[in-house]
Amino acid sequence: MLCGIRSLTLVDERNVTEDDLDSNFLLENDSAGKNRARASSQKARALNPMVKLEVLEASVGSLSTDFVSNFTLVVLCDQKYSDVVTWNEKCRQLNIGSVEKKEGAVCDGDSGGTSSAPEAIDVDAENVLEKKKYQYPSIEEAFSVDWSKKQLVRKSRRVIPCSYFPLKAMLRAQKEEKLCADEDKNIKILTELWTEEAMSENGRPLRNIFIYSALDSTGTMCMFPPP
């Protein structure tokens, strides 16, 4: 809204919960029980009255490809992994930018699957730069890498962040519908999946302590006591 976009459409079929009131600054205190998109629209519109704002009380799964083709960017927040994969692929086919975000976990961007470097010619005509198209992997491909392959084991120690295993565990738990309303049971399930994901990487050294800092939103895997 603040960057001056032409239009914005909020799509959500769920109602506001107490947790939403603590995390969404667009909601009023009396918004509990109301549709989240509808309840957020008033403050969102106040951010920039020049932007055309529309609200659609519907689920992501009910949207048609023709409807989505009218947009230049699709942002999915806290949706099922299966829906994220589906719409990421559809956006790539339509050459529409997409961003997928999980609360406190992941943010991934995809500019329609490809990106082109602008064509330019050196003023002295000594060097000619040709336009090149880059092919980006889909979100499903990005989270399905087999890091146990020999050519990737050594590289994985440099490129895999410490939050990789917990993130894969959460995505897997959601995909396999293992989570429930029992928080303690969910923690146990995620811990088991986290362990399986870590062990599946074979030669990668395991660390036994995960430290999360809310001050700078970073997590660090440590080995205590040190070897």
Amino acid, single-letter form, for residue 36: R
Amino acid, single-letter form, for residue 212: Y
For residues 186-198, average pLDDT: 61
* Angle formed at CA 23 by CA 70 and CA 77, multiple of 5 degrees: 30
Q: Is the pLDDT confidence value at 223 over 90?
A: no
Reduce the DSSP state of residue 56 to 3 states and report it: strand
The rounded mean pLDDT for the chain is 74
Strands (E), the chain: 7-11, 52-56, 73-77, 97-102, 106-111, 114-116, 120-121, 128-129, 133-135, 209-213, 218-222
pLDDT given for residue 71 in this prediction: 92
Domain ranges of the chain: 7-115, 145-222
* CATH 3.20.20.70 correct for 7-115: no
For residues 146-173, average pLDDT: 72
Are 129 and 121 in contact by the 8 Å Cβ rule? The answer is: yes
Which stretch, 129-143, 182-196, 199-213, has highest mean pLDDT? Answer: 129-143
User: How many CB atoms are closer than 10 A to CB 16?
Assistant: 22
pLDDT given for residue 123 in this prediction: 56
Q: Is the pLDDT confidence value at 4 over 90?
A: no
The DSSP bridge partners found for residue 133 are 116
The CA distance from 5 to 186, in Å, is 40
